[in-house]
Amino acid sequence: MIGLTPHNKDLRLIGGGHSHIAVVKRLGMNPLPGVRVTLISSDTMTPYSGMLPGFIAGHYSFKDCHIDLRKLCQSASVQFIRSDVTHIDPATKRIECRDYPSLRYDVLSINTGSLPALSDITGADRHGYPVKPAKEFLQHWQQWLATATANRLQRIVVVGGGAAGIEILLALRHQVTHASPIQAEFILISAETEILSSHNDRVRDFFLRHLQTLGIRVISGKRVIAVNEQQLRLDDQSQLDYDFIAWSIHAGAQPWPKASGLACDERGFIQVDHYLRSVSHSEVFAVGDCAAFTSHPLPKAGVYAVRQGPILADNLIAQLNNSPLRPYKPQRLFLSLLTTGDRYAVASRGAFFASGKWVWHWKDFIDRRFMARFIPKPMATPDQSGSEPETMRCGGCGAKIGSSILHNVLSQLKISSPPDIISALGDDAAIIDLPGKTHWLQSVDFFRSFLDDPYLLGKIAAIHSLNDIYAMGGTPHSALVTAVIPYSSEAIMEENLLLLMQGILTTLDQEKTALIGGHSGEGPEMAVGLTVNGTLEQNNAFTKSGLQPGDALILTKPIGSGVLLAANMAARCEGAWLDRAVEWMLQSNRAASAILRTHRVHSCTDVTGFGLLGHLQEMLRASQCSATVSLDAVPVMEGAQQCSAQGIKSSLYPHNLKAGRCHSDSSHHPSHALLFDPQTAGGLLAGVPAASAEDCLRALRQAGYDAALIGQVTAFDKESLIALT
């Protein structure tokens, strides 16, 4: 952004664990000049482990116990990359990711947690469900609940007699008995002779009595050695049938840190010193369950990761500034609050024991206070009134010049049209007449960055630019790129340009389009544009001027990307909403264009900066027709209506609203404002003969598009160009 110190160092955080969210929060409050901070996580939503049993039992919603990493990072000006790390190379200081280009680092921190150690149990990698990662376990559990038969007794087994295993077991039982028709028997298997071996006798006695009261069978002092589709085998060679099994045994390490050459203990956990720094690589830090604290072995408990967060933040800052590090001194005892399935809990600390509903409410207060720390405060959003200065301007198609300004400028220019240019000035791409039976298509798009991920930006920019070719019914041929990269250190500028170009090239390769050249430059912020070329058979173009009364209006993608991107800029967009919006933006319109041709489309355009109504108006004016549009039929991206209802709008919205011409008493409709929302990499809007509309719609949906029939073309009415119903 303009005025910020150029980046010259990269701090990368791998994993969205409890320590790293504290680091992101700290750096958001006190940014490091010249340091680019990046969080790399496989998931946008990270669970708070202390509330997961309550979530399973039904006491909390998903949002109550998950931290939105994308929103948190946006509020802290921390780059967020959604990907899995598969390897690091400490010699070259590079991070290898799955389905994402490699990344450089100057200082690296790892907070990826642990997984149940299943390698010693034959078949455990194929049968049963580890409780970590939590997202996958919860998905498997919900799928099992939905498919389990209620006409026979189900046997649910949890393997692991520690606090996590018992809390998960009791939560599963609470959900089954209170929120499902399933009849089930519950079994706990503990390899140790005593459950909860790290807690005092009163805690153990309480839970043994509680499990017995609930009719839960406890098998202790026996270890599971093998599992198949139906049975567990224990080390005394006895067998146990099961229907669902959850693995909550002792922690195991992920394999990639050791394979990357970091010093690890015999179990594969990263060895760190009393500064939380790798004993083998001084620029690498590790915390939480993935780390082995060499000064004092620590149990794998989330409380340590929470307490390590502030120390880690201090030491990362010190490492980057070449300052002395601060030692981490783990607490000797810590408070554990263990839930019993219902709204009842047990407190345990050393010899201390307490239980009751009040303990659950105490825990609930602590957990909710912790979660509240990581809910970003609303930031300024682009002003929509036009009367006050705007504090933030949108990127993507939200950064386009308003249609009224553009039309006024074009009307004052004397633009000549050579005879070999046979398209109208307002069409999506220029048609150049070539000798023979082929036309040449050409179009250009350019916009400021709307995401802090250069690779994703490049992929979406290419999709967006190629839409003009598909909207004309053409076949992409080649592209030239214009890239503007913010000034930073040479290494960071090189990586930014490389990631951007890799994203563009990935999409162009998928779309069978050649990259034939380009231009790059420095600027205050990242921006990208593509000039795209395509071919078209003569007299076979989709244009804006072919609509006929009676045509069905079909839209191939939902709308709402503009308001979601505007909300994201202000850290007010739910991460899951933006993830889904990105998926829509990454969807190519190539197949849609081919399907529309098969069903004899009369007219077509792509929905971009001027919004659905603005681009429909272009088609209607060019065709001398009017139209009716059903607001209820227009597909909308998840979260777009919610953001719009909060008054969040793209900075181009006022211009689109001013240019819109429609007759309607439906301004109260939750989708009304979204009709004027600028779209980036939006869908195709087509006029299809009514007789083929249903078949066309069916084919589009079978091809993966959330397509909808949104209205009908009518005879021209100069008083009512568009009627909303």
Neighbours of 139 (CB within 10 A): 12
**Angle of helix 134-147 relative to helix 163-179, nearest 10 degrees?**
30
- Coil vs helix vs strand at 221: coil
103 forms beta bridges with 95
Please pick, among 73, 97, 394, 397, the residue that the annotation labels catalytic.
397
Please spell the DSSP secondary structure of 222-265, one letter per residue.
--EEEE-SSEEEETTS-EEE-SEEEE--SEE--SHHHHTT--B-
Question: Which residues touch 435 (CB under 8 Å, ≥6 apart)?
Answer: none
Mark residue 647 as left, alpha or beta (left: phi above 0; alpha: psi -120 to 50; beta: remaining): left
**DSSP E strands: which ranges in 35-191?**
35-41, 45-47, 66-68, 79-82, 85-89, 94-97, 100-104, 107-110, 115-116, 129-130, 154-159, 184-190
Q: Which residue has the tokens 């880690």?
A: 312
Q: Of 316, 322, 350, give the one whose Cα is nearest residue 335.
A: 350
627 forms beta bridges with 713, 722
**Angle of helix 163-179 relative to helix 201-213, nearest 10 degrees?**
30
Q: Give the tokens for residue 630.
A: 């059903």
433 forms beta bridges with 439
Vertex 511: Cα angle to 618 and 398 (nearest 5): 40
Question: Which residues touch 335 (CB under 8 Å, ≥6 apart)?
Answer: 303, 347, 348, 349
* Per-residue b or e along 589-616, where b marks 16 or more CB atoms closer than 10 Å to that residue's CB: bbbbbebbeebebbbbbbbbbbbbbbbb
Cα 695 to Cα 89, 106, 130, 178, 554, distances in angstroms: 53, 56, 45, 45, 12
- Known catalytic residue: 696? no
Cα(61)–Cα(600) distance, rounded to whole angstroms?
A: 48
CB-CB contact of 396 with 565 (8 Å): yes
Question: Which residues touch 150 (CB under 8 Å, ≥6 apart)?
Answer: 180, 181, 182, 183
Question: Which residues touch 412 (CB under 8 Å, ≥6 apart)?
Answer: none
SS3 for 613-643 is: HHHHHHHHHHHCEEEEECHHHCCECCCHHHH
Measured torsion, CA atoms of residues 554, 556, 560, 562, in degrees rounded to the nearest 10: -110
Question: Which residues touch 700 (CB under 8 Å, ≥6 apart)?
Answer: 554, 556, 592, 595, 707
Q: Give the tokens for residue 534.
A: 């395509």
Cα(204)–Cα(474) distance, rounded to whole angstroms?
A: 71
Q: Which residue has the tokens 């990454």?
A: 586
Is cis: bond before 324, omega within 30 of 0?
Answer: no
Q: Give the tokens for residue 331.
A: 């607490």
CB-CB contact of 592 with 700 (8 Å): yes
Catalytic annotation, residues: 397
